[in-house]
């Protein structure tokens, strides 16, 4: 009798595990590049059947159908794919969320806003897609990397800098953005950090007034040439006009750790 009960218990546990795995959605649509990248990082890549136009990492993503751009969704194409779950970013996609919910499409909203949200995002996506173990391991590694970087750089001599996110219009970062979090962790002094918006538009005059020692552009070398007309700027006088790799910092993914390290090194060199 005991042997029969043990076998029955094993069968019940096996059924539960199989049932739990089957419950994980198998037809995922990601509408944001950083969510797409995180899904592949945790092992959910084979479940992704479509993305937005901007998702391009890893390279295999480019072969998937596109059902949205930054501002809108092709609802007809999305419905034809019969997704189990659509994943969106809370930052700028609330209208998309409302459209999807009105059609009774399952939606998961990922609220990525600050650097410390990355481990939580990994765990949330892992739980939602059936990859909790892999996601937990990555989240713990990210937490350790973040702590290491903060301890290594944030107490060093501050360097006044401008992070040129985009131009034109001339746009930088402030509190409420994870790029500003990274600047602070690296010991950078962003004079525009207290701006009311996380991505404020500023004037050249405001930059000249602040006299940055370092200007970092997330665009290209041409975007830095504008500052050469003001040789009195410390960043120009000391040849501290630098480029960063934008996807590493502008998308909150595992590559963000490398992006922070690059940013910290640029700031360290300017010291």
Residues 6+ apart with CB under 8 A from 91: 112, 113
Residue located via tokens 């004037």: 203
Please work out, in degrees rounded to the nearest 5, the angle formed at the alpha carbon of residue 183 by the alpha carbons of 147 and 218: 125
User: What is the value of pTM for the model shown?
Assistant: 0.86
Catalogue all structural domains in the chain, each as residue range(s) with its CATH number: 24-142 (3.40.50.1980), 154-270 (3.40.50.1980)
- Distances 217 to 83, 104, 210, 214 between C-alpha atoms, Å: 38, 42, 17, 10
User: pLDDT digit of tens for each residue in the chain (271 aa)?
Assistant: 444 444 444 444 444 444 444 588 999 999 999 999 999 999 999 999 999 999 999 999 999 999 998 778 999 999 999 999 999 998 666 778 888 988 999 999 999 989 999 999 999 999 999 999 999 999 999 999 999 999 999 889 999 999 999 999 999 999 999 999 999 999 999 999 999 999 999 999 999 999 999 999 999 888 999 999 999 999 999 999 999 988 899 999 999 999 999 999 999 999 8
Task: Return the sign of the alpha-carbon dihedral for residues 192, 195, 200, 204.
Answer: negative
Residues 6+ apart with CB under 8 A from 242: 214, 215, 216, 217, 224, 266
The torsion angles phi and psi of 166, rounded to 5 degrees, stand at -160, 155
Q: Is 116 helix (H, G, I), strand (E, B) or coil?
A: coil
Q: What is the DSSP string of 53-102?
A: TT---SGGGGGS-EEE-SS-B-HHHHHHT--SEEEEETTT-HHHHHHHHH
Run of H or E residues at 22: helix 2-23
């Amino acid at each position: 009798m005991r042997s029969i009960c043990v076998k029955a218990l094993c069968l019940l546990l096996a059924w539960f595990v199989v049932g739990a795995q089957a419950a994980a959605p198998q037809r995922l649509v990601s509408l944001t590049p950083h969510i797409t990248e995180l899904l592949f990082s945790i092992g959910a890549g084979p479940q992704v059947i479509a993305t937005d136009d901007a998702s391009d990492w890893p390279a295999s993503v480019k072969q998937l159908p596109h059902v949205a751009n930054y501002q809108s969704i092709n609802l007809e194409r999305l419905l034809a794919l019969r997704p189990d779950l659509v994943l969106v970013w809370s930052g700028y996609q609330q209208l998309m969320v409302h459209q999807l919910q009105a059609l009774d499409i399952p939606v998961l909203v990922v609220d990525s806003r600050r650097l410390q949200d990355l481990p939580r995002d990994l765990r949330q996506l892992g739980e939602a897609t059936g990859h909790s173990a892999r996601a937990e391991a990555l989240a713990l590694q990210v937490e350790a990397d973040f702590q290491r970087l903060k301890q290594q750089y944030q107490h060093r001599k501050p360097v006044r800098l401008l992070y040129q996110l985009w131009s034109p219009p001339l746009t930088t970062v402030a509190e409420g953005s994870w790029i500003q979090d990274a600047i602070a962790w690296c010991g950078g002094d962003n004079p525009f950090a207290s701006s009311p918006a996380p991505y404020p538009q500023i004037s050249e005059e405001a930059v000249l007034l602040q006299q940055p020692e370092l200007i970092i552009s997330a665009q290209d070398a041409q975007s830095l040439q504008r500052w050469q007309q003001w040789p009195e700027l410390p960043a120009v006088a000391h040849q501290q006009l630098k480029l960063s790799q934008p996807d590493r910092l502008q998308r909150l993914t595992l590559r963000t750790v490398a992006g922070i390290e690059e940013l910290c090194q640029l700031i360290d060199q300017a010291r």
